[in-house]
Amino acid sequence: MRASKLTRERAVAAQRRPAGVLLSLVTIIAAPLTLSLCGLERLDAQEASPLAGFSPSASSRQVEIEQRLQSSISIERIREHLKWLSSRPHLPGSEGTRLTVEYLQEQLESFGIPTETVRYDAYLPAPVSVSLELVEPVLESISTTEDRIEEDPYTEVTDLHPGWSGYSPSGEATGQVVYGHFGSEDDLQRLVDLGIELEGKILLLRNFSTGEGRKVANAQRFGAAGVVLYTDPAEDGYPFGDVYPDGNWRPPSSIMRRSINFLPFGGDPLSPGWASKPGARRLQPEDVPLPRIPVLPVSYRSAERILSLLQGPVAPDDWQGALPLTYKIGPGPAKLRLRTEMDNRDRPMLNVLGRLEGATQPDQWVLLGNHHDAWIYGAGDPSSGTAALLELARVIASMAQEGIRPDRTLIFAFWDAEEMLLGGSTEWVEDHEEELLEKLVACINMDSAVFNPDRPLSVAAHPLLHELFRDASRQVPDPRTEKSTFDIWLDLQNRFRQVPGVDGWGEFFDPTRELSEPRIFESPYDDAAPFFYYLGLPASDMYYGADYGMYHSIYENFHWMETVVDPTFEYHGVMAQLQGLVALRLANATLLQLDFANEAHYWKLAYQDLHQVAEARDQVVPLLQQALQLLDSWEEEAEALELKMKLLLEDDLASVPSAQLVDLNQQLNRATRDFRRLEPHPEIPAQRNLFSGSSFDFENVSGGTLPGLRFALDRGDLARAESEAGLYVEALRRRLEGLRRIRSTVRALHSGERPLSEEVKQ
Amino acid sequence: MRASKLTRERAVAAQRRPAGVLLSLVTIIAAPLTLSLCGLERLDAQEASPLAGFSPSASSRQVEIEQRLQSSISIERIREHLKWLSSRPHLPGSEGTRLTVEYLQEQLESFGIPTETVRYDAYLPAPVSVSLELVEPVLESISTTEDRIEEDPYTEVTDLHPGWSGYSPSGEATGQVVYGHFGSEDDLQRLVDLGIELEGKILLLRNFSTGEGRKVANAQRFGAAGVVLYTDPAEDGYPFGDVYPDGNWRPPSSIMRRSINFLPFGGDPLSPGWASKPGARRLQPEDVPLPRIPVLPVSYRSAERILSLLQGPVAPDDWQGALPLTYKIGPGPAKLRLRTEMDNRDRPMLNVLGRLEGATQPDQWVLLGNHHDAWIYGAGDPSSGTAALLELARVIASMAQEGIRPDRTLIFAFWDAEEMLLGGSTEWVEDHEEELLEKLVACINMDSAVFNPDRPLSVAAHPLLHELFRDASRQVPDPRTEKSTFDIWLDLQNRFRQVPGVDGWGEFFDPTRELSEPRIFESPYDDAAPFFYYLGLPASDMYYGADYGMYHSIYENFHWMETVVDPTFEYHGVMAQLQGLVALRLANATLLQLDFANEAHYWKLAYQDLHQVAEARDQVVPLLQQALQLLDSWEEEAEALELKMKLLLEDDLASVPSAQLVDLNQQLNRATRDFRRLEPHPEIPAQRNLFSGSSFDFENVSGGTLPGLRFALDRGDLARAESEAGLYVEALRRRLEGLRRIRSTVRALHSGERPLSEEVKQ
């Protein structure tokens, strides 16, 4: 019903659509006639200004390619993929995953994409059984499973899928309960300051705000015997809208499962920093800081029962949640017995990698990623993205077979074990570090495609890629309005800018200010993380709507997707288009359009932020003074280069020999390596991106921007800060000189001179 | 148990108490020996610096008086008064009020205070019966009464006291329900913008944020057929702490009653601007804008039932409350039938006024006020204050009988019908306008003494009085710690500065900044209102803890006070001390210590605020430019005057003839009249204070600071703004010249010259 209503509105609206705002989704399946019509519309607009990074003739070709791409994506095929992929649980190492991997390989090969399945091993968790009992003041079992919902057939097996936390050890803990808010270090210290004993207690902690790994690491450090996690409706539940099955918000029995991880490295815990290919050297589990105390996630209904039996001080005002009771701290009288039996052991991780060789620059790679493992059915996370990427691969491959092959090589990557430890992607990155540093242009990762189209599209990307995403989104029509995805993205972000998503809004976001263009978070996560933090390369992730509602529960299934989230699958189509447009722009650009000026802007923000932090603590880092001048010069140089490249492109490059163009593109690509640490930081070796570090789960790592400097300043180690500042200044110089060299290459090409090849090749 | 623990702590602490921090409450009943001990402690401290406004000898005398006052206040007597006063409902015009008035008159006269009971008439509301029924989607009665609580004997009669709203008409309305948040104009406009029809609907509105009068006035203007009010737990209930009887927060069945009033004048609705003495001219009720649609307050349990039956759009995020459901807007399917039968008619209001003639300056009056009427038992509002003020009157009168009589005249005022319309106080002010403008120094009003000692003391006062309140609070020990009331006041305000009380934090409060001294709200309300807004005189109100919890419910009774709020009655003692100290400082000061510099500071804040508002709208008021220079000069002049007065006081005024001192004090007192409008504003005649207007309940009046100017600018009437600016500038000139004249008088007195009496008398 919703679809037909949309169709009618769209048909009426078609007459009014301004040129340049592209095809309606109604036309996506229809094809040829509409395509040519839309093509004409678009070409009119394009003649005035070619796509950024494209010469006029390349731009015309690219516009046609993109129209073809957008009109060829079949939401019906995405729906079928999703239905298949989410028809069974597919936890890493399970039979479901094996079947999924077969399906992915078969599908990719059926599209004509050469595909291999690559295995790495990892120490991976799985549950055997869990239980939670109140032993005081009453003896009572606390539910660890989710409610069956009559109309949702996927919930028939709730008993087989209790809540559990990845990497919780097997164990038993009995103790009085203390409510500890989000379990941040500040939260637990506040309890201690209030005179609350935490030793031997079971901490009841809310999800969100602080990574689960940090929560548990903090709980351990403060002496807790166990941790019970739950999602408070203040963060996800009825205050936001109807709960499932009536709406898209978390119902009372729903459990959010996540992995508990506070290792300084992603990937297999037993092979930190190297690839765990079968037979590779491995550490022993007991030598690695995995959680030592049992951890269990429960629903907010179960948490309400426990909270209702806590006495002691009333929790601070900002610790009160949205359950209908007075949150108290305890300890007790509620006393819990928590039992977890786990089967954590080595299991294979299976990445599926399809490769479409580039027509003219095969040694430059653009990666389109997504993971394929899920907590249970994973209809949102990740299978909505898996389904969309599969369909995108089909369309691109089919065009290639007709001769419209991307200039650069595309790699379609379906990773395993993201949920547990960003496993498959990290090991593959470790395995191919040198080659990726040589060849990879960018990793455009999807993760979940759609969770909630009533909440803003969320894109996290390296600052070099921001404008590219915005540009692409202008070209994707929103399914429910006459607006573009760009416009809806902006509207929804402004509407919800006081309500951060799970990943927040980035470091420098001011929620009080109206946005004039969509905000892109500057530090991606998910499987983009090893590319971004470890390799230091351009990477991104994206999903529509935040990780809320059914996220990581048994309700995150095909019935939910079909009845509540995206009944027409049009938003899956939006996401496939967006990932495809960004990847194909990068794959086909005449000159790689990397936004060095925006990158400089973010570095400046990071610098100012760090400067304020240091100033507030009276910390002086003399060497850092030099950075500001270099940042200004970089920004100017980037703008000058952009202008020069634009002029070169406008000449349509007829006079530029192709080899020199390839060379110039390689220079542009190599410039993105400027901010990778040459030597790893001894304490945070996985954080090799000088610009941004992940604070998500690592214990004792503040993360955020300029992580090495921040790490030193947080510890008050000014000598270390000075040497870190040296690395930054050196990198800034490298960047500035690099951009100057590229500009002189561009100038030479433009004037028809032969560039000084020695200089170019340096 | 709590009392004995406090006693022990205090006894231990006594050794460590610094000189100058006064007597412990333990000693209050003990008396003579302790008194002299504490007196010595204090005198040591006082020799170094006399009390502000007192000559050294007067200061020594005042210190003794204050010690005597503080040590004589009997918390046991306060307890007994409160028990008597709250033993029966005492709604204005009821038999309970008649008995209360007799008690007050008898008590005051038994203290030796000449007392009269003064009658005014007013159109006053009373309930006959109310009912609320769901008629769709189910037929069901919605409770309009509160739960009986086994251990609270006062709740045996809950059926006799349904929820009702003062000035609701009798009527019946049946309509679909629309949830309208706080019912502000913006809220209702937002509903209209969402396409929600309000005509003929029953609006379900939350208490707080906007005055009840405004809510109902808005509802009428938008066409609603009736209004149901409730207190959401997000504002008052379990998120803040245990609910009664376990704690001090609003339980699910509790109903908050308030008066619905949006008249431009306080007091009797039928005699706006003149005193309604028996036989006075009166308007007809139908000629006065009283509410036209039925209004009924219900509990949050009743509201939850109604909300659970609303569909339609999910309410905006910031409209969601703390009930465990998704708040939706409607309309319907819930449909309510609301019936109110009222007996609104003329009833007598009885003020009880005791008068203690001043010893040396009887024509300068200091008023100590409180009202005596209550919604039901009124154990907090107002009887905790009535009880404290009665005991304070006894102590002051008993000292007077021993010859320690205040220099200026004290008036102990117990007002009627505050709850309905600030009735008794407003009529008395209208009756005595000329005399009050001639003689009144200040109105120090108490209203409720104690609601919640775990929340900050709340004082709202004319800026001239702020420092006086802070000074006095330094001298009152906190019952539960070794700190002063000043310190606890500051601690609690900082702790709860993100959580505004019912009356907010004042216009210029920045909750992000740590306070260094207690914040006093610059605009008082309650029975201080006619003194402050209409007369434009220094006035204040005060209560401990905000109007939350049991406020205006049947649970606001003696059992609640004795078990939950103030079991030892020590905080009642704190409030009696504070009101007494402030009043006696004003009554005995050698030179009235009015803080003109602080007043200038607030005028500047108000000016800046208005300036920003005008600038944002591109409104230019040329005449206003002159104000800034005058404000600066005023501040400088005030500081210079303060210094001069200090020097004069230090000379102990031996050489100054008493008549000249009286004269100087009269000049100081008259200066406080500078900011009363000479002619009333035609549209907001009750707002004659140029500095501050009340926005609490009046429809279409923005209130806030500089109300006349703001009123003109809000309407975009720049000509009117210019003429208003003329009044402001004229008043600022008056102030500046007045202060200069006073300073020259002080200078002349100090140098032994005879002041120019013509100038002085002007």
Smallest Cα distance from A275 to chain B, Å:
46
Q: What's residue B43's pLDDT?
A: 36
| DSSP conformational letter for A531 | I
Note which residues in 316-345 of chain A have CB less than 8 A from chain B: 317-318, 320, 322-327
What is the percentage of chain B residues whose pLDDT exceeds 70?
90
Return the bridge partners of B141, or none: B133
In this complex, do A314 and B240 lie within 8 Å of one another by their Cβ atoms? Answer: yes
Given a cut of 60, whether residue A43 has pLDDT beyond it is no
- Which whole number is the average pLDDT over B349-355? 98
pLDDT digits 0-9 by tens, B398-408: 999 999 999 99
Q: What's residue B652's pLDDT?
A: 83
Given a cut of 60, whether residue A42 has pLDDT beyond it is no
Given a cut of 80, whether residue B689 has pLDDT beyond it is yes
Compute the distance between CA of residue A691 and CA of residue A319 in angstroms, rounded to an integer: 33
Q: What's residue B95's pLDDT?
A: 95
**Nearest CB partner across the interface for B242, out of A249, A322, A326:** A326
Q: Looking at the domain assignment, is residue A1 inside a domain?
A: no
- Contact between A537 and A440 under an 8 Å Cβ cutoff? The reply is yes
Q: What's residue A755's pLDDT?
A: 52
Q: What's residue A656's pLDDT?
A: 81
Which residues in chain A are contacts of B498 at CB distance < 8 A?
317-318
CATH number for A131: 3.50.30.30
Q: A140-141 and A171-179 as β-strands: parallel, antiparallel, unpaired?
A: unpaired
Tokens read off for B615: 């600038």
Same domain membership, residue A404 and residue A300: no
Q: Looking at the domain assignment, is residue A459 inside a domain?
A: yes
Q: Give the N- to C-terminal CA distance of chain A in Å, as an integer.
A: 62
| DSSP conformational letter for A689 | B
Q: B361-371 and B408-415 as β-strands: parallel, antiparallel, unpaired?
A: parallel
Smallest Cα distance from A122 to chain B, Å:
43
- φ, ψ (nearest 5 deg) of residue B177: -90, 140
- Which whole number is the average pLDDT over A548-566? 96
B456 in contact with chain A, both atoms CB, cutoff 8 A = no
SS3 A92: coil
Given a cut of 80, whether residue A48 has pLDDT beyond it is no
A241 in contact with chain B, both atoms CB, cutoff 8 A = yes
Which residues in chain B are contacts of A327 at CB distance < 8 A?
239
Compute the distance between CA of residue A463 and CA of residue B559 in angstroms, rounded to an integer: 64
Query: Among B379, B393, B583, B573, which Cα is nearest to B478's?
Result: B573
- Contact between A129 and A296 under an 8 Å Cβ cutoff? The reply is no
In one letter, which amino acid is B534?
A: Y
pLDDT band at A49 (very low <50, low <70, confident <90, very high): confident
Which residues in chain A are contacts of B249 at CB distance < 8 A?
326
A43 in contact with chain B, both atoms CB, cutoff 8 A = no
Tokens read off for A502: 């799970």
Q: What's residue B702's pLDDT?
A: 55
Compute the distance between CA of residue B450 and CA of residue B443 in angstroms, rounded to an integer: 19
- Contact between B510 and B198 under an 8 Å Cβ cutoff? The reply is no
Q: What's residue A39's pLDDT?
A: 35
Last residue of a domain, one of A586, A612, A635: A586
Tokens 């799970």 sit on residue: A502
Same domain membership, residue A261 and residue A213: yes
- Which whole number is the average pLDDT over B66-89? 98
Tokens read off for B107: 């008590």
For residue B252, CA distances in Å to B62, B144, B319, B338, B550 come to 49, 12, 20, 21, 11
Given a cut of 70, whether residue B27 has pLDDT beyond it is no
Going through A466-600 in order, the beta strands assigned E by DSSP cover 539-544
Q: Specify the range with the lowest mean pLDDT, choosing from A505-514, B104-113, B214-223, B752-761.
A: B752-761
Tokens 């989410």 sit on residue: A86
Compute the distance between CA of residue A359 and CA of residue A211 in angstroms, rounded to an integer: 43
Counting Cβ atoms within 10 Å, is residue A530 exposed (0-12), middle (13-18) or buried (19+)? buried
Q: What's residue B19's pLDDT?
A: 36
Note which residues in 496-525 of chain B have CB less than 8 A from chain A: 496, 498-499
SS3 B27: helix
Same domain membership, residue B143 and residue B103: no
Angle, CA of B171, B173 and B177, to the nearest 5°: 145
- Which whole number is the average pLDDT over A198-221? 94
Same domain membership, residue A317 and residue A236: yes
pLDDT digits 0-9 by tens, B631-687: 999 999 999 999 999 999 998 877 788 899 999 999 999 999 999 998 888 888 888
- Which whole number is the average pLDDT over B717-740? 94
Given a cut of 80, whether residue A2 has pLDDT beyond it is no
In this complex, do B317 and A247 lie within 8 Å of one another by their Cβ atoms? Answer: no
Q: Give me chain B's average pLDDT, please.
A: 89
Interface test with B, best of A179, A249, A305, A317 (most B CBs within 10 A): A317
Q: What's residue B565's pLDDT?
A: 97
Number of domains chain A contains: 3
Cα atoms found within 13 Å of the Cα of residue B704, Cβ hemisphere only: 17
Interface test with A, best of B242, B314, B323, B497 (most A CBs within 10 A): B314
Domain that holds residue B164: 127-343
Given a cut of 80, whether residue B47 has pLDDT beyond it is no
- Contact between A582 and A472 under an 8 Å Cβ cutoff? The reply is yes
pLDDT band at A624 (very low <50, low <70, confident <90, very high): confident
Q: What's residue A21's pLDDT?
A: 35
B303 in contact with chain A, both atoms CB, cutoff 8 A = no
Compute the distance between CA of residue A77 and CA of residue A761 in angstroms, rounded to an integer: 46
**Nearest CB partner across the interface for A317, out of B243, B325, B499:** B499
Q: Looking at the domain assignment, is residue A12 inside a domain?
A: no
Q: What's residue A687's pLDDT?
A: 86
Q: Looking at the domain assignment, is residue A284 inside a domain?
A: yes
Contacts of B328 (CB under 8 A, 6+ apart): B179, B307, B310, B311, B312, B313, B314, B315
Tokens read off for B675: 């900011």
In this complex, do B247 and A324 lie within 8 Å of one another by their Cβ atoms? Answer: no
pLDDT digits 0-9 by tens, A367-411: 999 999 999 999 999 999 999 999 999 999 999 999 999 999 999
Same domain membership, residue A328 and residue A477: no
Q: Which of A33-47, A701-715, B536-550 has the highest mean pLDDT?
A: B536-550
Which residues in chain A are contacts of B239 at CB distance < 8 A?
317, 320, 326-327
DSSP string, B82-124: HHHHTSS---TTSHHHHHHHHHHHHHHHHTT--EEEEEEEEEE
Compute the distance between CA of residue A529 and CA of residue A586 in angstroms, rounded to an integer: 19
Compute the distance between CA of residue B223 and CA of residue B228 in angstroms, rounded to an integer: 14
- Contact between A621 and A725 under an 8 Å Cβ cutoff? The reply is yes
In this complex, do B240 and A499 lie within 8 Å of one another by their Cβ atoms? Answer: no
pLDDT digits 0-9 by tens, A77-119: 999 999 999 999 999 999 999 999 999 999 999 999 999 999 9
Given a cut of 50, whether residue B753 has pLDDT beyond it is yes
Q: What's residue B26's pLDDT?
A: 32
Same domain membership, residue A320 and residue A294: yes
Smallest Cα distance from A14 to chain B, Å:
26
Which residues in chain B are contacts of A239 at CB distance < 8 A?
317, 320, 326-327
Same domain membership, residue A401 and residue A498: yes
Tokens 């433009």 sit on residue: A750
Q: Give the N- to C-terminal CA distance of chain B in Å, as an integer.
A: 61
Q: Give me chain A's average pLDDT, please.
A: 89
Last residue of a domain, one of B323, B343, B363: B343
Smallest Cα distance from B325 to chain A, Å:
5
Q: What's residue A762's pLDDT?
A: 38
Q: Looking at the domain assignment, is residue A53 inside a domain?
A: no
Query: Interhelix angle for B570-588 vs B466-474, to 10°?
Result: 130
- Contact between A201 and A178 under an 8 Å Cβ cutoff? The reply is yes
pLDDT band at B330 (very low <50, low <70, confident <90, very high): very high
Taking one residue from A and the other from B, the number of pairs with CB-CB distance under 8 angstroms is: 53
Given a cut of 50, whether residue A539 has pLDDT beyond it is yes
Compute the distance between CA of residue A710 and CA of residue B11 in angstroms, rounded to an integer: 51
Same domain membership, residue B479 and residue B567: yes
pLDDT band at B33 (very low <50, low <70, confident <90, very high): very low
Same domain membership, residue B296 and residue B154: yes
Same domain membership, residue A625 and residue A573: no
Given a cut of 80, whether residue B760 has pLDDT beyond it is no
In this complex, do B326 and A249 lie within 8 Å of one another by their Cβ atoms? Answer: yes
Q: Looking at the domain assignment, is residue A2 inside a domain?
A: no
**How large is the ipTM?**
0.79
CATH number for A694: 1.20.930.40
pLDDT digits 0-9 by tens, A234-287: 999 999 999 999 999 999 999 999 999 888 788 999 999 999 999 999 999 999
Which residues in chain A are contacts of B511 at CB distance < 8 A?
none
Q: Specify the range with the lowest mean pLDDT, choosing from A589-603, A643-657, A720-734.
A: A643-657
- Which whole number is the average pLDDT over B291-306? 98
Q: What's residue B31's pLDDT?
A: 35
Q: What's residue B653's pLDDT?
A: 78
**Nearest CB partner across the interface for B314, out of A241, A318, A325:** A241
Smallest Cα distance from B484 to chain A, Å:
22
Compute the distance between CA of residue B136 and CA of residue B602 in angstroms, rounded to an integer: 53
In this complex, do A240 and B499 lie within 8 Å of one another by their Cβ atoms? Answer: no
**Nearest CB partner across the interface for B239, out of A233, A241, A320:** A320
In this complex, do A238 and B322 lie within 8 Å of one another by their Cβ atoms? Answer: no
In this complex, do A317 and B240 lie within 8 Å of one another by their Cβ atoms? Answer: yes
Q: Specify the range with the lowest mean pLDDT, choosing from A197-211, A511-525, B17-31.
A: B17-31
In this complex, do A322 and B325 lie within 8 Å of one another by their Cβ atoms? Answer: no
The size of chain B, in residues, is 762
Compute the distance between CA of residue B426 and CA of residue B526 in angstroms, rounded to an integer: 10
pLDDT band at A702 (very low <50, low <70, confident <90, very high): low
For residue A675, CA distances in Å to A30, A109, A604, A723 come to 46, 37, 14, 16
Last residue of a domain, one of A341, A363, A383: A341
Q: What is the pTM of this model?
A: 0.85
Same domain membership, residue B637 and residue B746: yes
Q: Specify the range with the lowest mean pLDDT, choosing from A287-291, B80-84, B99-103, B572-576.
A: A287-291
Angle, CA of B117, B122 and B123, to the nearest 5°: 155
Smallest Cα distance from A516 to chain B, Å:
20
Query: Among B631, B630, B576, which Cα is nearest to B463's?
Result: B631
Given a cut of 80, whether residue B700 has pLDDT beyond it is no
The size of chain A, in residues, is 762
Return the bridge partners of B458, or none: B543
SS3 B130: strand
Q: Looking at the domain assignment, is residue A274 inside a domain?
A: yes
Q: Looking at the domain assignment, is residue A116 inside a domain?
A: yes
Given a cut of 50, whether residue B543 has pLDDT beyond it is yes
Same domain membership, residue B492 and residue B369: yes
CATH number for B91: 3.40.630.10
